[in-house]
Amino acid sequence: MHDPDADLVRRAGAGEPRAAEALVRRHLSRMTALARRMLSDPAEAEDVAQEVFLRVWRAAPTWREGEAKFETWMHRVAINLCYDRLRRRRETLDPDAGLEVADGAPGAVDGLMARERAAQVRSALDRLPERQRAAIVLCHFQDMSNIDAAASLEVSVEALESLLSRGRRALKAALAPAAQDLAGDA
């Protein structure tokens, strides 16, 4: 198994700052995007991404190449940090959060509808069980292969495919009323 990060991890583990910077440049946006999709909170997503890289620095000196791809391990760390934050959440949802008023400019209605659809997808994704949400996010938003996503979730490929199937069905059911509303508006 070829790990494109192996050399950078080895050099970062030896204390080379440029290698560490290269790892951040290569993976920060993906770790932040993963956490944002899992948590629906940009500030928390940035905190999770930072924590992932703190753990990278600690793990780099002892990383054993060949057991898993480093990026797969990073995704696993990010998913676990997101799970921890989701479990700790005790806040109530603000019913007025996210309400927007169209400005009436050309294209504003289309933009508002696109944001509304994105919010509906985000909301439906947020209601999925954690493992189904993680599987959907890794495969559909992080563009990971089923093999890498399964490794990140520490499940078999078959179990990942089951999580994906159940998650897709739940998303389809949750978004069906919105799709019917859009069809009725057309």
Query: pLDDT for 144-164, tens place per residue?
Result: 899 999 999 999 999 999 999
Given the structure tokens 């948590």, which residue do they identify? Answer: 39
For the record, the structure tokens of 22 come out as 């290269």
What confidence score (pLDDT) does residue 65 get? 78
Q: Please state the domain count of the chain.
A: 2
What confidence score (pLDDT) does residue 101 get? 45
Answer yes or no: are the C-beta atoms of 130 and 140 closer than 8 Å: no
Please indicate, yes or no, whether residues 18 and 54 belong to a single structural domain of this protein.
yes
Answer yes or no: are the C-beta atoms of 154 and 76 closer than 8 Å: yes
Dist CA 37 CA 79 (whole Å): 11
Last residue of a domain, one of 61, 89, 117: 89
Residue 186 has pLDDT above 70, yes or no: no
Output 32 or 68, whichever has higher pLDDT: 32
What is each CA distance from 155 to 65, 83, 178, in whole angstroms? 20, 16, 33
- Tens digit of each residue's pLDDT (9 = 90 or more) over 96-152: 444 444 455 556 666 666 778 778 888 888 899 999 999 999 998 888 899 999 999
Dist CA 28 CA 74 (whole Å): 10
Domain of 25? 1-89
Distance from chain centroid for Cα 74: 12
What confidence score (pLDDT) does residue 102 get? 46
Please indicate, yes or no, whether residues 75 and 136 belong to a single structural domain of this protein.
no
Please indicate, yes or no, whether residues 133 and 167 belong to a single structural domain of this protein.
yes
Please indicate, yes or no, whether residues 141 and 180 belong to a single structural domain of this protein.
yes
For the record, the structure tokens of 39 come out as 């948590």
- Tens digit of each residue's pLDDT (9 = 90 or more) over 38-90: 999 999 999 999 999 999 888 888 888 777 789 999 999 999 999 999 888 74
Is 169 part of any domain?
A: yes
Is 97 part of any domain?
A: no
Which residues are CB-neighbours of 61 under 8 A, at least 6 positions away?
A: 13, 14
